[in-house]
Amino acid sequence: MIVLKNYKLLFILLFAFITKGYNQTYTIKIDYDASSDGCHAAGYSWDFKGNTSIITSFGDGGNNMEVNESQTFTAVPNYSSFSFSLHSSCVALGSSTTNCNNNFTATKTAVQMLQGGYLGLGGCNGGVNIDSFKPNVVIQNLDTTDPSNICAGFSLSLAGFPANFPAEAYHWQYSVNNQVTWIDVPATIAGRATNNTPTPTFSMQELLGVNHTNYINKPIYFRLGYATTSFTTPLILYYSACTPVVTNIEYEAPNCNGDAIPKVAISFDRPLDNDETLVYIYIRDKNNGAISNQRNNVVFDTADPKKYTFYNISPLENTRTYEIGYQAKKGTIMRGSMFSTQSFTYNDPAKMQFKVTGQSLPTCFGNEDATIDIEILSGESPYNFYVDNVLTTASKIDNSHYKITGLKANAVGYKIKVTDKNNCIEK
Protein backbone atom coordinates (compact mmCIF):
# COMPACT_ATOMS: atom_id res chain seq x y z
CA MET A 1 0.00 0.00 0.00
CA ILE A 2 1.31 3.45 -0.92
CA VAL A 3 0.85 6.15 1.69
CA LEU A 4 0.08 9.53 0.06
CA LYS A 5 2.43 12.54 0.23
CA ASN A 6 2.56 14.39 3.54
CA TYR A 7 0.11 11.98 5.14
CA LYS A 8 1.51 10.90 8.47
CA LEU A 9 0.00 8.39 10.85
CA LEU A 10 1.26 7.88 14.38
CA PHE A 11 -0.88 5.46 16.26
CA ILE A 12 0.10 4.71 19.82
CA LEU A 13 -2.02 2.29 21.73
CA LEU A 14 -2.49 3.14 25.37
CA PHE A 15 -2.91 0.09 27.50
CA ALA A 16 -3.79 -0.93 30.99
CA PHE A 17 -3.13 -4.40 32.25
CA ILE A 18 -3.70 -6.74 35.14
CA THR A 19 -1.43 -9.74 35.53
CA LYS A 20 -2.00 -11.98 38.51
CA GLY A 21 -1.70 -9.14 40.99
CA TYR A 22 1.95 -8.40 40.05
CA ASN A 23 3.35 -5.28 38.41
CA GLN A 24 6.10 -6.54 36.12
CA THR A 25 6.69 -4.10 33.27
CA TYR A 26 9.48 -3.28 30.83
CA THR A 27 10.89 0.01 29.61
CA ILE A 28 11.50 -0.26 25.88
CA LYS A 29 13.01 2.33 23.53
CA ILE A 30 12.33 1.95 19.79
CA ASP A 31 14.39 3.71 17.11
CA TYR A 32 13.08 4.00 13.54
CA ASP A 33 13.98 5.88 10.39
CA ALA A 34 12.81 6.06 6.78
CA SER A 35 13.28 8.19 3.65
CA SER A 36 11.41 8.58 0.35
CA ASP A 37 14.54 9.77 -1.40
CA GLY A 38 14.45 8.48 -5.01
CA CYS A 39 10.80 7.41 -4.77
CA HIS A 40 7.87 8.87 -6.68
CA ALA A 41 5.76 7.45 -3.90
CA ALA A 42 6.88 5.59 -0.78
CA GLY A 43 5.26 3.58 1.93
CA TYR A 44 6.63 2.82 5.38
CA SER A 45 4.81 1.33 8.37
CA TRP A 46 5.43 -1.02 11.26
CA ASP A 47 3.71 -2.68 14.19
CA PHE A 48 5.31 -3.62 17.49
CA LYS A 49 3.64 -6.44 19.42
CA GLY A 50 3.92 -8.18 22.75
CA ASN A 51 2.78 -11.74 22.22
CA THR A 52 -0.21 -11.03 19.90
CA SER A 53 -1.13 -7.59 21.31
CA ILE A 54 -0.12 -4.44 19.42
CA ILE A 55 1.88 -2.15 21.68
CA THR A 56 2.43 0.63 19.13
CA SER A 57 2.34 1.28 15.39
CA PHE A 58 3.72 3.88 13.01
CA GLY A 59 3.10 4.80 9.41
CA ASP A 60 4.27 7.43 6.91
CA GLY A 61 4.81 7.78 3.18
CA GLY A 62 4.66 9.93 0.03
CA ASN A 63 7.53 11.52 -1.87
CA ASN A 64 8.68 13.88 0.88
CA MET A 65 9.14 11.41 3.74
CA GLU A 66 12.01 11.86 6.19
CA VAL A 67 11.72 9.99 9.47
CA ASN A 68 14.35 9.71 12.21
CA GLU A 69 12.61 9.23 15.51
CA SER A 70 12.40 7.18 18.68
CA GLN A 71 9.75 6.28 21.21
CA THR A 72 10.15 5.10 24.78
CA PHE A 73 7.50 3.04 26.54
CA THR A 74 7.92 2.83 30.30
CA ALA A 75 5.23 0.33 31.27
CA VAL A 76 5.15 -2.48 28.73
CA PRO A 77 3.51 -5.61 30.23
CA ASN A 78 5.51 -8.73 31.00
CA TYR A 79 4.95 -10.44 27.66
CA SER A 80 6.84 -13.62 26.87
CA SER A 81 7.80 -12.49 23.34
CA PHE A 82 8.04 -9.34 21.24
CA SER A 83 7.85 -8.83 17.47
CA PHE A 84 8.02 -6.29 14.66
CA SER A 85 6.12 -6.35 11.37
CA LEU A 86 7.53 -3.96 8.77
CA HIS A 87 6.11 -2.79 5.42
CA SER A 88 8.41 -0.77 3.16
CA SER A 89 7.67 0.16 -0.47
CA CYS A 90 8.88 2.49 -3.19
CA VAL A 91 7.66 3.45 -6.67
CA ALA A 92 10.87 4.47 -8.37
CA LEU A 93 11.31 8.09 -9.37
CA GLY A 94 13.84 7.31 -12.06
CA SER A 95 16.23 4.70 -13.35
CA SER A 96 18.54 5.15 -10.38
CA THR A 97 15.90 3.73 -8.03
CA THR A 98 14.32 0.29 -8.07
CA ASN A 99 10.74 -0.47 -7.23
CA CYS A 100 10.32 -2.43 -4.04
CA ASN A 101 7.63 -3.80 -1.80
CA ASN A 102 8.93 -5.42 1.40
CA ASN A 103 7.00 -7.15 4.16
CA PHE A 104 9.09 -8.56 6.99
CA THR A 105 8.52 -9.91 10.51
CA ALA A 106 10.92 -10.73 13.37
CA THR A 107 10.35 -12.13 16.85
CA LYS A 108 12.46 -12.52 19.98
CA THR A 109 11.55 -13.96 23.36
CA ALA A 110 11.68 -11.78 26.44
CA VAL A 111 14.58 -13.93 27.69
CA GLN A 112 16.55 -13.29 24.49
CA MET A 113 15.96 -9.55 24.83
CA LEU A 114 16.99 -9.53 28.48
CA GLN A 115 20.24 -11.23 27.52
CA GLY A 116 21.04 -8.57 24.91
CA GLY A 117 19.38 -10.02 21.81
CA TYR A 118 18.75 -7.80 18.80
CA LEU A 119 15.23 -7.23 17.50
CA GLY A 120 14.92 -5.10 14.38
CA LEU A 121 14.02 -5.03 10.70
CA GLY A 122 15.27 -3.15 7.67
CA GLY A 123 13.36 -2.50 4.43
CA CYS A 124 14.16 -0.80 1.15
CA ASN A 125 13.50 2.69 2.51
CA GLY A 126 13.63 2.39 6.28
CA GLY A 127 13.93 0.26 9.37
CA VAL A 128 12.97 -0.15 13.01
CA ASN A 129 14.69 -1.72 16.01
CA ILE A 130 14.69 -1.92 19.81
CA ASP A 131 17.46 0.31 21.12
CA SER A 132 16.95 -0.46 24.82
CA PHE A 133 15.08 -3.20 26.65
CA LYS A 134 15.01 -3.21 30.46
CA PRO A 135 12.80 -4.76 33.10
CA ASN A 136 11.48 -2.25 35.62
CA VAL A 137 13.20 -3.75 38.65
CA VAL A 138 14.84 -2.40 41.78
CA ILE A 139 17.26 -4.07 44.17
CA GLN A 140 17.95 -3.79 47.86
CA ASN A 141 19.78 -5.39 50.75
CA LEU A 142 17.23 -7.22 52.88
CA ASP A 143 19.26 -6.41 56.00
CA THR A 144 17.46 -3.21 56.92
CA THR A 145 19.39 -2.82 60.19
CA ASP A 146 22.62 -1.89 58.41
CA PRO A 147 21.83 -1.97 54.67
CA SER A 148 25.07 -0.28 53.53
CA ASN A 149 27.51 -2.63 55.27
CA ILE A 150 28.23 -6.34 55.37
CA CYS A 151 30.47 -8.07 57.92
CA ALA A 152 32.85 -10.85 56.96
CA GLY A 153 31.24 -14.26 57.31
CA PHE A 154 27.70 -12.90 57.38
CA SER A 155 25.25 -13.85 54.65
CA LEU A 156 24.32 -11.08 52.27
CA SER A 157 20.68 -11.35 51.21
CA LEU A 158 19.94 -9.35 48.08
CA ALA A 159 16.51 -9.04 46.50
CA GLY A 160 15.16 -7.89 43.16
CA PHE A 161 11.62 -6.50 42.99
CA PRO A 162 9.04 -7.21 41.73
CA ALA A 163 9.18 -10.97 41.39
CA ASN A 164 7.89 -13.13 38.54
CA PHE A 165 9.89 -11.72 35.65
CA PRO A 166 11.79 -14.37 33.69
CA ALA A 167 14.70 -15.59 35.81
CA GLU A 168 17.15 -13.88 33.42
CA ALA A 169 15.86 -10.48 34.60
CA TYR A 170 17.53 -11.20 37.96
CA HIS A 171 21.05 -11.50 36.57
CA TRP A 172 23.33 -10.29 39.37
CA GLN A 173 26.68 -8.65 38.77
CA TYR A 174 29.22 -7.04 41.07
CA SER A 175 32.12 -4.62 40.72
CA VAL A 176 35.18 -4.27 42.96
CA ASN A 177 36.83 -1.46 40.96
CA ASN A 178 34.34 1.40 41.23
CA GLN A 179 32.14 0.10 38.39
CA VAL A 180 34.91 0.06 35.77
CA THR A 181 34.17 -3.61 35.10
CA TRP A 182 31.32 -5.89 36.15
CA ILE A 183 31.58 -9.57 37.06
CA ASP A 184 28.75 -12.09 36.99
CA VAL A 185 27.86 -13.55 40.36
CA PRO A 186 28.41 -17.36 40.04
CA ALA A 187 25.36 -19.37 39.04
CA THR A 188 25.70 -21.42 42.22
CA ILE A 189 27.69 -21.10 45.43
CA ALA A 190 27.96 -24.10 47.76
CA GLY A 191 25.05 -25.73 45.95
CA ARG A 192 22.75 -22.71 46.27
CA ALA A 193 21.36 -20.86 43.25
CA THR A 194 22.96 -17.42 43.40
CA ASN A 195 22.25 -15.96 39.96
CA ASN A 196 19.18 -15.67 37.75
CA THR A 197 17.18 -15.65 40.96
CA PRO A 198 15.46 -12.72 42.66
CA THR A 199 16.84 -13.50 46.14
CA PRO A 200 20.43 -14.81 46.20
CA THR A 201 22.24 -15.39 49.49
CA PHE A 202 26.01 -15.66 49.97
CA SER A 203 28.84 -14.34 52.11
CA MET A 204 31.45 -11.99 50.71
CA GLN A 205 34.12 -14.60 51.45
CA GLU A 206 32.19 -17.09 49.30
CA LEU A 207 31.83 -14.52 46.53
CA LEU A 208 35.34 -13.06 46.52
CA GLY A 209 37.30 -16.19 47.44
CA VAL A 210 40.62 -16.46 49.25
CA ASN A 211 41.58 -12.87 48.41
CA HIS A 212 38.48 -11.41 50.05
CA THR A 213 40.55 -9.59 52.66
CA ASN A 214 41.95 -7.40 49.85
CA TYR A 215 38.52 -5.76 49.65
CA ILE A 216 37.90 -5.11 53.34
CA ASN A 217 36.89 -1.49 53.99
CA LYS A 218 36.22 -0.99 50.28
CA PRO A 219 32.94 -0.50 48.40
CA ILE A 220 31.45 -3.43 46.50
CA TYR A 221 28.78 -2.57 43.91
CA PHE A 222 25.87 -4.81 42.92
CA ARG A 223 23.37 -4.51 40.09
CA LEU A 224 21.09 -6.46 37.80
CA GLY A 225 22.13 -6.49 34.16
CA TYR A 226 24.42 -7.89 31.48
CA ALA A 227 27.75 -6.67 30.06
CA THR A 228 27.26 -2.95 29.32
CA THR A 229 23.53 -2.94 30.10
CA SER A 230 22.41 -2.13 33.62
CA PHE A 231 18.82 -2.80 34.64
CA THR A 232 19.11 -1.10 38.03
CA THR A 233 20.85 1.67 39.91
CA PRO A 234 23.93 0.08 41.54
CA LEU A 235 23.67 -0.86 45.21
CA ILE A 236 26.79 0.09 47.19
CA LEU A 237 27.89 -2.06 50.13
CA TYR A 238 30.99 -1.63 52.25
CA TYR A 239 32.73 -4.87 53.16
CA SER A 240 34.00 -4.83 56.74
CA ALA A 241 35.94 -7.40 58.74
CA CYS A 242 34.02 -6.55 61.95
CA THR A 243 36.74 -8.58 63.70
CA PRO A 244 40.54 -8.64 63.95
CA VAL A 245 42.05 -10.12 60.78
CA VAL A 246 44.70 -12.86 60.85
CA THR A 247 48.02 -11.59 59.45
CA ASN A 248 50.31 -14.53 60.24
CA ILE A 249 50.33 -18.11 61.55
CA GLU A 250 53.44 -19.19 63.44
CA TYR A 251 53.44 -22.97 63.49
CA GLU A 252 56.00 -24.69 65.73
CA ALA A 253 56.47 -28.23 64.47
CA PRO A 254 57.05 -31.17 66.83
CA ASN A 255 60.60 -32.47 67.06
CA CYS A 256 59.98 -36.20 67.06
CA ASN A 257 57.51 -38.57 65.52
CA GLY A 258 54.31 -38.77 67.55
CA ASP A 259 55.15 -35.75 69.72
CA ALA A 260 52.54 -33.08 70.39
CA ILE A 261 52.66 -29.78 68.47
CA PRO A 262 54.22 -27.30 70.92
CA LYS A 263 52.16 -24.31 69.79
CA VAL A 264 50.42 -22.47 66.97
CA ALA A 265 50.52 -18.69 67.40
CA ILE A 266 48.02 -16.53 65.50
CA SER A 267 48.84 -12.86 64.85
CA PHE A 268 46.08 -10.34 64.10
CA ASP A 269 46.01 -6.86 62.59
CA ARG A 270 44.72 -5.28 65.80
CA PRO A 271 44.00 -6.02 69.46
CA LEU A 272 40.53 -6.84 70.67
CA ASP A 273 38.47 -3.87 71.77
CA ASN A 274 37.63 -3.50 75.45
CA ASP A 275 34.22 -5.14 75.07
CA GLU A 276 35.24 -7.54 72.29
CA THR A 277 36.03 -11.25 72.50
CA LEU A 278 36.32 -14.17 70.14
CA VAL A 279 33.29 -16.35 70.80
CA TYR A 280 35.35 -19.21 69.42
CA ILE A 281 38.56 -19.86 67.52
CA TYR A 282 39.55 -23.24 66.07
CA ILE A 283 41.83 -25.10 63.69
CA ARG A 284 40.07 -26.31 60.52
CA ASP A 285 41.16 -28.88 57.95
CA LYS A 286 41.13 -27.08 54.59
CA ASN A 287 40.46 -30.32 52.74
CA ASN A 288 37.32 -31.55 54.50
CA GLY A 289 36.34 -28.72 56.86
CA ALA A 290 36.86 -30.83 60.01
CA ILE A 291 37.16 -28.63 63.11
CA SER A 292 39.46 -29.35 66.04
CA ASN A 293 41.05 -27.60 69.01
CA GLN A 294 38.18 -25.16 69.46
CA ARG A 295 38.66 -22.59 72.20
CA ASN A 296 35.70 -20.54 73.46
CA ASN A 297 35.37 -16.98 74.82
CA VAL A 298 38.91 -16.14 73.88
CA VAL A 299 40.97 -13.06 74.67
CA PHE A 300 44.42 -12.39 73.24
CA ASP A 301 47.76 -13.11 74.89
CA THR A 302 48.70 -10.82 77.76
CA ALA A 303 52.28 -10.48 76.50
CA ASP A 304 51.15 -9.62 72.98
CA PRO A 305 47.63 -8.12 72.70
CA LYS A 306 47.55 -8.79 68.93
CA LYS A 307 48.21 -12.53 69.25
CA TYR A 308 46.44 -15.69 70.37
CA THR A 309 48.44 -18.89 70.94
CA PHE A 310 47.13 -22.45 70.86
CA TYR A 311 48.79 -24.76 73.40
CA ASN A 312 48.02 -28.38 74.34
CA ILE A 313 47.01 -29.09 70.79
CA SER A 314 45.14 -32.33 70.16
CA PRO A 315 46.49 -34.49 67.32
CA LEU A 316 46.13 -33.38 63.71
CA GLU A 317 46.25 -35.57 60.61
CA ASN A 318 49.64 -35.99 59.01
CA THR A 319 50.32 -33.97 55.80
CA ARG A 320 47.01 -32.06 56.08
CA THR A 321 46.82 -28.29 55.61
CA TYR A 322 44.97 -26.25 58.23
CA GLU A 323 43.48 -22.77 58.52
CA ILE A 324 42.05 -20.80 61.42
CA GLY A 325 38.35 -20.03 61.85
CA TYR A 326 36.88 -17.64 64.39
CA GLN A 327 33.86 -15.51 65.33
CA ALA A 328 33.99 -12.14 67.07
CA LYS A 329 31.48 -10.65 69.49
CA LYS A 330 31.26 -7.05 70.63
CA GLY A 331 29.32 -6.75 73.85
CA THR A 332 26.34 -9.00 73.22
CA ILE A 333 26.30 -8.55 69.42
CA MET A 334 27.83 -11.11 67.09
CA ARG A 335 30.26 -9.50 64.66
CA GLY A 336 32.55 -10.75 61.88
CA SER A 337 33.27 -14.43 61.24
CA MET A 338 36.31 -15.33 59.17
CA PHE A 339 38.71 -18.00 58.01
CA SER A 340 42.36 -17.08 57.76
CA THR A 341 43.85 -16.74 54.29
CA GLN A 342 47.08 -18.09 55.79
CA SER A 343 47.50 -21.78 56.58
CA PHE A 344 50.02 -24.32 57.85
CA THR A 345 50.73 -27.95 57.00
CA TYR A 346 51.23 -30.53 59.74
CA ASN A 347 53.99 -33.01 58.97
CA ASP A 348 54.71 -35.61 61.62
CA PRO A 349 58.51 -36.02 61.62
CA ALA A 350 59.89 -39.28 60.32
CA LYS A 351 60.56 -41.91 62.96
CA MET A 352 64.12 -42.32 64.19
CA GLN A 353 64.86 -45.93 63.11
CA PHE A 354 68.01 -47.95 62.68
CA LYS A 355 69.21 -51.55 62.57
CA VAL A 356 72.46 -53.38 63.30
CA THR A 357 73.64 -54.96 60.08
CA GLY A 358 76.81 -56.64 61.29
CA GLN A 359 79.40 -56.97 64.03
CA SER A 360 82.83 -58.46 64.67
CA LEU A 361 84.45 -59.80 67.85
CA PRO A 362 87.84 -58.74 69.21
CA THR A 363 90.68 -60.44 67.34
CA CYS A 364 92.28 -61.59 70.62
CA PHE A 365 91.38 -61.81 74.27
CA GLY A 366 91.60 -58.34 75.80
CA ASN A 367 91.80 -56.52 72.49
CA GLU A 368 89.54 -53.51 71.89
CA ASP A 369 88.90 -53.91 68.19
CA ALA A 370 85.36 -55.28 68.06
CA THR A 371 83.03 -53.44 65.59
CA ILE A 372 79.31 -52.89 65.04
CA ASP A 373 77.79 -51.87 61.70
CA ILE A 374 74.66 -49.68 61.82
CA GLU A 375 72.23 -48.72 59.04
CA ILE A 376 70.04 -45.61 59.56
CA LEU A 377 66.52 -46.28 58.24
CA SER A 378 64.98 -42.86 58.97
CA GLY A 379 65.63 -39.76 61.01
CA GLU A 380 67.43 -36.44 60.62
CA SER A 381 71.18 -36.18 60.68
CA PRO A 382 73.54 -35.61 62.40
CA TYR A 383 73.28 -38.70 64.58
CA ASN A 384 74.70 -39.60 67.97
CA PHE A 385 75.63 -43.20 68.84
CA TYR A 386 75.61 -44.74 72.31
CA VAL A 387 77.02 -48.08 73.44
CA ASP A 388 75.74 -49.12 76.84
CA ASN A 389 74.53 -45.50 77.33
CA VAL A 390 78.01 -44.08 76.68
CA LEU A 391 78.34 -41.62 73.78
CA THR A 392 80.61 -43.21 71.21
CA THR A 393 82.21 -42.02 68.00
CA ALA A 394 81.07 -43.79 64.83
CA SER A 395 82.77 -43.65 61.44
CA LYS A 396 80.52 -42.54 58.59
CA ILE A 397 80.53 -44.89 55.62
CA ASP A 398 77.82 -43.03 53.70
CA ASN A 399 74.64 -41.11 54.61
CA SER A 400 72.92 -44.26 55.85
CA HIS A 401 75.76 -46.47 57.11
CA TYR A 402 78.06 -46.06 60.13
CA LYS A 403 80.61 -48.24 61.92
CA ILE A 404 81.43 -48.22 65.62
CA THR A 405 84.94 -49.49 66.35
CA GLY A 406 87.28 -50.01 69.31
CA LEU A 407 84.89 -52.10 71.40
CA LYS A 408 85.90 -54.53 74.12
CA ALA A 409 84.45 -58.00 74.30
CA ASN A 410 81.13 -58.12 76.14
CA ALA A 411 79.73 -61.51 77.07
CA VAL A 412 76.15 -60.18 77.41
CA GLY A 413 76.24 -58.12 74.24
CA TYR A 414 75.96 -54.39 73.64
CA LYS A 415 73.07 -51.98 74.23
CA ILE A 416 72.98 -49.66 71.19
CA LYS A 417 71.07 -46.38 71.05
CA VAL A 418 71.00 -43.83 68.20
CA THR A 419 69.56 -40.31 68.40
CA ASP A 420 69.11 -37.80 65.61
CA LYS A 421 69.62 -34.02 65.57
CA ASN A 422 66.35 -33.49 67.49
CA ASN A 423 67.41 -36.02 70.11
CA CYS A 424 64.72 -38.41 68.90
CA ILE A 425 65.15 -42.10 69.57
CA GLU A 426 63.54 -45.20 68.12
CA LYS A 427 60.38 -45.90 70.06
Please state whether beta strands 149-151 and 235-240 pair in parallel, antiparallel, or not at all (unpaired): parallel
> Looking at residue 111, what DSSP letter applies?
H
Cα 174 from chain centroid (whole Å): 11
Amino acid letter at 143?
Answer: D
pLDDT above 70 coverage of the chain, percent: 95
- Which residues have CB under 8 Å from 266's CB, separation 6+? 246, 248, 249, 250, 281, 307, 308, 309, 310, 324, 340
Tell me what the mean pLDDT of segment 147-162 comes to: 94
Predicted TM-score (pTM) of this structure: 0.73
For 173-228, write each residue's pLDDT tens digit.
Answer: 999 999 999 999 999 999 999 999 999 999 999 999 988 989 999 999 999 999 98
CATH architecture entry for 25-135: Sandwich (2.60)
Statement: 246-346 belongs to CATH 2.60.40.10: yes
CB 113 within 8 A of CB 130: yes
Range with the lowest mean pLDDT among 9-23, 42-56, 288-302, 378-392?
9-23
| Topology agreement, domain 25-135 and domain 246-346 | yes
Cα 318 from chain centroid (whole Å): 29
pLDDT score recorded for residue 271: 97
Amino acid letter at 38?
Answer: G
> Looking at residue 213, what DSSP letter applies?
G
Q: Report domain extents, the chain.
A: 25-135, 138-240, 246-346, 353-419
212: helix, coil or strand? Answer: helix
State yes or no: pLDDT of 2 exceeds 70.
no
138-240 — its CATH code? Answer: 2.60.40
pLDDT score recorded for residue 23: 83
Q: How many separate helices (H) and strands (E) can be counted in the chain?
A: 2, 35
pLDDT score recorded for residue 253: 93
State yes or no: pLDDT of 86 exceeds 60.
yes
For 352-396, write each residue's pLDDT tens digit.
Answer: 999 999 999 888 888 889 999 999 999 889 999 999 999 999 999
> Looking at residue 34, what DSSP letter applies?
E
State yes or no: pLDDT of 17 exceeds 50.
no
Degrees (nearest 5) of the Cα angle 250, 255, 256? 140
Q: Which long-range contacts (CB under 8 A, 24 or more apart) does 227-234 make?
A: 227/116, 227/182, 229/116, 229/132, 229/134, 231/134, 231/135, 231/137, 231/169, 231/171, 232/137, 232/138, 232/139, 232/160, 233/138, 234/175, 234/179
